[in-house]
Structure 1
Amino acid sequence: MRRWVLIIICAIQLSCYGQVTEKVKGVSFVASREKIAQEHVVEVIELHANHAALMPFGFIKDINSPEIIFNTDRQWFGETKQGAMQYIELLHKNGIKTMVKPQIWIWKGEFTGTLKMASEVDWQILENSYDKFIITYAEMAQETGSELFCIGTELEQFVLMRPEYWQRLIAKIRKVYNGKLTYAANWDEYPRVPFWQDLDYIGIDAYFPLSEEKTPSVAQLKAGWQKQKENIKSLSGTCSKPVLFTEFGYRSTDQTAWKPWLVDRHEEPVNLTAQANATQAILEEFWPEDWFAGGYVWKWFIEHKKSGGAKDNRFTPQNKPAEGVLRKFYKAY
């Protein structure tokens, strides 16, 4: 009898992971000044991607400011509501699902995870401003039929210091949006997020440090993943939620897996092999797992032929060996 109870419990737990029937094979679609055209979507299809993250932006003038400015005529087309809607419409016409992932940029590139207010008055202003920002795009996600919506990206201090606000926000979003919800936690933030139970996916921006080697092998990188992977799997089991890598990717530089989160303009030597190896390792480690829902590679520019290439040391895999790794793996899944 006890054996059958355990079997039933395990079956229930597996069903609670969110019924991952199709892996997200995604790209993080970088907003452009212009509308997207069919030729830009064809290149995503040829990658065998089935999802794209769209990122309308809000702006904060400095780290101490509580006001979010968004959806203005001073922004690039793809960063606005109109632009995101045009992107989604064309992607959907081509059978590519979408995640709306509104993001904040703070002047001078200050890390959003440090955003916090010095007074209760400013906290209230920030919360009201964030409400307007997020609900605008949650309503847009509902209108366009977007399959996923991300309620925030790497906002650790905001989340930890104002947990009640986030509970209220999630309830507000649920009233206007019927799709699946996630939050994009930074790689070192995700264990402390207090509201995973209220979302559909545990979202992680997966820039975990794995190796200090100049050109780590796939085997070395997979070994580097083991402790982190076990921790991620454990949280997934505890929360009975599947894990989604809301961002993953590596720069094509030496030591790319040492501090993968670096987005500054440091000019490390180009290392295409290191990027390809790191991409292969993360795909092989996570995509076969039944508790893992997939992820969105960082990042994909609409002008594919002009992006990336052999001399580029940035994140995009476009026109690099890492793109071939992605294409082969995405096709297999």
Structure 2
Amino acid sequence: MRIVRLLFLCFLQFSCTSQAPEKINGVSFVASRSEALQTHLEEVKQVYANHAAVMPFGFIRDVNSPEIIFNTDRQWFGETKKGAMQYIGLLHKNGIKTMVKPQIWIWRGEFTGTLHMNSEVHWQELEASYEKFIMTYAEMAQETGTEIFCIGTELEKFVTNRPEYWHKLISKIRTVYKGKLTYAANWDEYPRVPFWKDLDYIGIDAYFPLSDEKTPSVKQLREGWQRWKPDMAALVKKTGRPVLFTEFGYRSMDYTAKKPWLVDRNQENVNLKAQVNAKRALFDEFWGEDWFAGGYVWKWFIDHDKAGGENDNRFTPQNKPAQEVIKEVYKKY
């Protein structure tokens, strides 16, 4: 009988130690004009989020300009180094891990993937400016004990035209930052990123088109994922790196899964059910996969009481039925 008990205890110990690692159940913590307060963290904890992306910003005049302006007095508090540090400190105090994800905004909202220089001189100027920008926040990430650092977001032309620069930049980042690294590739960019093996996660901003229906069902949406999912799994096998959705989300509007990346001010009808179904399908397809690390919901405003709501057709799930779907899944994982 004693031997049986010992075997049973060994089995329990093995079962506990062999469980899949905890998922990154994240929110994209949107930069604000002001400091984050403890009250702003309560709803983040209520949905069982264990991670948050903190996003300081740099600004570029146009898609051919090499100068990145950042960490100035003219920016919102949350977009600066001081603001990012304050957010990280408060998040960590509440037991929420962080990913620092520096972003670039090109004037008039031009897509960052089109950033492209017209001369070698300008490429070199951009590289120097970007290195200054990204190293500032890599050093900050190390100083604040940030768990993950994202080296860039949706910079396809910059990456494809200057691959050697990026390999060297990653090596330099690792001299000052000792945590995990990723890059946030656009959904149609990630297969061509040349440096995944230099990083710890395959980062994808997961705005994959899944359905042309106005209100697609969960079943239809899961079928839509079959067009994309095998390629992700194949890349994981090839690189030995898990997939991390550095952004994922859907607007609460008609046709939300047709072009999920749309950030325009269209007047499509509010469709809370479509957002719920899209969220549920994504969770059903990915959160149970051992090669999938987790992800960050796009997006979460710090002042929860004023965010989202039943008349809002934007990305945030706050104060909408989709928030309950997130809570249910994050609690489970």
Q: Could you tell me how far 1:280 is from its partner in structure 2?
A: 0.4
Q: Could you tell me how far 1:151 is from its partner in structure 2?
A: 0.2
Alpha-carbon contact 1:20-1:293 (below 8 Å) kept: no
Q: Could you tell me how far 1:205 is from its partner in structure 2?
A: 0.2
Gaps of 5+ in 1: 1-18
Deviation track 1:122-172 (CA, whole Å, cap 9, x = no partner) reads 000000000000000000000000000000000000000000000010001
Q: Distance in 2 between matches of 1:63 and 1:166?
A: 19
Matched, 1:198 2:174: no
Q: How does 1:142-157 map to 2 (within 5 A)?
A: 142-157=142-157
Q: How does 1:276-291 map to 2 (within 5 A)?
A: 276-291=276-291
Matched, 1:66 2:38: no
Matched, 1:88 2:88: yes
Alpha-carbon contact 1:100-1:148 (below 8 Å) kept: yes
Q: Distance in 2 between matches of 1:241 and 1:214?
A: 35
Q: Could you tell me how far 1:267 is from its partner in structure 2?
A: 1.3
Give the structure 2 partner of residue 5 of structure 1: none
Give the structure 2 partner of residue 30 of structure 1: 30
Q: Distance in 2 between matches of 1:63 and 1:248?
A: 25
Q: Could you tell me how far 1:227 is from its partner in structure 2?
A: 2.1
Aligned-partner residue type, residue 290 of structure 2: D
Q: How does 1:262-273 map to 2 (within 5 A)?
A: 262-273=262-273
Give the structure 1 partner of residue 324 of structure 2: 324
1:296 alignment partner, SS class: strand
Give the structure 2 partner of residue 223 of structure 1: 223
- Give structure 1 regions of 4+ aligned residues with deviation exceeding 2 angstroms: none
Q: Distance in 1 between matches of 2:287 and 2:175?
A: 32
Aligned-partner residue type, residue 145 of structure 1: G
Gaps of 5+ in 2: 1-18
Q: How does 1:42-53 map to 2 (within 5 A)?
A: 42-53=42-53
Q: Could you tell me how far 1:37 is from its partner in structure 2?
A: 0.5
Deviation track 1:22-45 (CA, whole Å, cap 9, x = no partner) reads 100000000000000001011100
Question: What do you get for the CA RMSD once the two structures are aligned?
Answer: 0.8
Alpha-carbon contact 1:20-1:242 (below 8 Å) kept: no
Give the structure 1 partner of residue 248 of structure 2: 248
Give the structure 2 partner of residue 299 of structure 1: 299
Q: Distance in 1 between matches of 2:332 and 2:22?
A: 12
Q: How does 1:173-188 map to 2 (within 5 A)?
A: 173-188=173-188
> What is the TM-score when the length of structure 1 is the normalising length?
0.94
Matched, 1:115 2:115: yes
Aligned positions, number: 315
Alpha-carbon contact 1:215-1:273 (below 8 Å) kept: yes
Aligned-partner residue type, residue 68 of structure 1: I
2:105 alignment partner, SS class: strand
Aligned-partner residue type, residue 277 of structure 2: N
1:157 alignment partner, SS class: helix
Alpha-carbon contact 1:20-1:291 (below 8 Å) kept: no
Aligned-partner residue type, residue 32 of structure 1: S
Q: Distance in 1 between matches of 2:326 and 2:202?
A: 23
Aligned-partner residue type, residue 22 of structure 1: E
Give the structure 1 partner of residue 171 of structure 2: 171
